[in-house]
Every structure is written in C-alpha cells, then in structure tokens.
Structure 1
Amino acid sequence: MKNDFEEKFTEYQADMVSICLEYVDWRADAIYIYCSYESNTIYGDCFFEITKKVVKKHQLNDIKGKEKGFEYDVSEERQRGLLDIISEDIEKIYTLCMKYGKDMPTEMKLVYDVKKNSLKADYCYENLWTDSETKLGLHICEEWFEEVKKKEEG
C-alpha cells in the first residue's frame, strides 16, 4: 500500500503524462517527459514517438504517415500551456519532497508507453548542469531527445 508521499508523487507524474496525452489528442506511441530542478530552477519539456518517428512538440504536423486530414494544435499558446502544467507539477513534487523531508530529484526522465499503459521513470539526484558554464536543463533534454531519436529511428 502506498503512503501519502508516494501517492502524491505518482499523481503529479500522472498529471504530466495526462496533459501530454491531451496535447497529442491521445495519438502517440510513447511520451517522453524531461524534468529538471537544480539551483531553484525548474525546467520541463516533452517529446513524442508517433508512427516510429521521434518529434518535438512543435513538429507533430511534420510526421509522414499520420492520419490523413488530421492536424495537431501546436500553437504557441498550447505549447506554453503544456509546459506551464509540467512546470507546476515539478514544483508540486519539490514542495512534496520538502514537506516529507525527501530528496528532490535533480532530474526525472519519464517514458510513457501509450499502448502498454506503462510508465518508466529514471531519477537522478546529482547536479547535472549547475556547475557548468555552458550547459542548462534544456541542453540535457536536447541530448536525451537526440539519443532517443537515434535509438528509435535507427
């Protein structure tokens, strides 16, 4: 049986998955969510795998082989709304960790397999970019995107 901390932590991650599913109108094979919290700085982003192509949130309509006549709403307003909710959930996780005296992950990589309805999460507790003069959370997310794209698309 999960305790309150685990329940809330899981709930906030599920909320991120849910808003991403809504963003792609439930038309994705996998969702990748990147969350970073270092030096009181929050960074969150996501990307998707659809019909064997890995794409960023603004590239959804560039996918070949997507349902004919269907267009994703990738407006700046919609993207901003998506990222705002992800950031709010990261902040809620931080507040939850502080309330329960738990370490806050500096990085969370969430991978949701839509068909299997399963979520995998990797957590890191080390600073990844705070001490770097050239790297930020967005750079690490970009590296992850390229790594996944190479793996999934060959």
Structure 2
Amino acid sequence: MKEFEDRFSELQADMISICMEYVEDRADKVFVYASCEEGVISSSFFYLINNKYVECHKVNDALQDGDERYDVSPKRMLMVLHIINEDIEKTKELCEEYERDMPTEMKLIYDVKNGNFKTEYKYELVYTHDEIKTADHIADEWFEEIKNNNL
C-alpha cells in the first residue's frame, strides 16, 4: 500500500512542481484541476498571486509595478498542461496496476507560504453525463468558486 500512496503523491507533487516552475516559484497558492473521465483527460491550473486569483494565461495581471514579468507564451502553458495530463495518465496506470479506483476529478491546492497541500477527489462522473458541460466548464466553475470565496 505504501508504494501506491507514495507514487500517487509523487505524481501530484509533480503537477504542483511544474505549475510552480511556470511562475518561477513566485505564487502564494497553486490550484490544479485534473480530470479523467470516460477516457477523456483534461487539466487546468491557476494561482493566487499578490492576493489576486488569476488564470494561468493572466498571471502578469497580478504583478506589482516593477515585478519581473512571467513568460506566459502559449508554448510554455501547453508544456505545463501536457506534463499534468501525462501525470494524470500515469496516475490512471498506477490505479489500474494496484486495482484502485481512479478519481474522475482531482483538485489540488498548494499553499506555498506554509507548505500546506490539500486534495479533493471525486469518483463519480462529473460532466460526461451532462449534455453541455465539459471538464473546462467544471475547471472554470472551480476557479470562480475559489475566487469568490477567497479560499
């Protein structure tokens, strides 16, 4: 069991780590949304920087005057999403190997200042039974919920 838990945690730590790299370790909190449902893998990430909740392509909006700008090129953003999606795929393989249920949804929150790491998992279908919603809708709703509640 320990090996499963360790590897499961390592993959989540890797998702957080690549998101921290994207902002050159300059963020107060990192939020990662990871979805794996009915064969569809999707992910999203956003941040709390200088008391502002910002989506990954808008991190420069949170900077103070004189702060060094982040490189938010689409290439870098896609690289991060690619790595997160690979980690989701590896998590799925790990769950299959250990005959464990794969979460359909993982919400990861890393508080950089105090090192706290919170996770929320769902195992039931979140969006595939919905005619309109996609994983992107769910990720956007989570961003709005966090932003509006200052979590």
Tell me what 2:49 maps to.
50
Instruction: State the distance in 2 between where 1:9 and 1:142 align.
Output: 25
Which of residues 107, 110, 113 in structure 1 aligns to 2:111?
113
Tell me what 1:101 maps to.
99
Moved more, 2-11 or 141-150: 2-11
Cα root mean square deviation, aligned: 1.2
Instruction: State the distance in 2 between where 1:45 and 1:126 align.
Output: 19
The alignment-based identity, stated in percent, is 47
Tell me what 1:31 maps to.
30
Instruction: State the distance in 2 between where 1:74 and 1:4 align.
Output: 36
- What is the TM-score of this pair, normalised by structure 2? 0.97
The C-alpha deviation readout for 1:82-110, integer Å capped at 9, x for no partner, is 00000000000000000000000000000
Following superposition of structure 1 onto structure 2, how do residues 74-85 of structure 1 map, counting pairs within 5 Å?
74-85=72-83
The C-alpha deviation readout for 1:21-70, integer Å capped at 9, x for no partner, is 100111100000000100010001100000110000110111252x6141
Q: How far has the Cα of 1:129 moved from its partner?
A: 0.6
The answer for unaligned runs of 5 or more in structure 1 is: none
Q: Size of the alignment, in residue pairs?
A: 151
Instruction: State the distance in 2 between where 1:59 and 1:121 align.
Output: 24
1:53–1:152 contact (8 Å) kept in structure 2? no
Tell me which amino acid in the other structure corresponds to 1:14: A
Q: 1:64 to 1:18 in 2, by over 3 A?
A: closer
2:49–2:63 contact (8 Å) kept in structure 1? no
Instruction: State the distance in 1 between where 2:123 and 2:102 align.
Output: 7
Following superposition of structure 1 onto structure 2, how do residues 1-154 of structure 1 map, counting pairs within 5 Å?
3-65=2-64, 68-152=66-150
Instruction: State the distance in 2 between where 1:76 and 1:110 align.
Output: 23
Q: How far has the Cα of 1:3 moved from its partner?
A: 1.0
Q: How far has the Cα of 1:136 moved from its partner?
A: 0.8
The answer for unaligned runs of 5 or more in structure 2 is: none
1:48–1:54 contact (8 Å) kept in structure 2? yes
Instruction: State the distance in 1 between where 2:82 and 2:116 align.
Output: 24
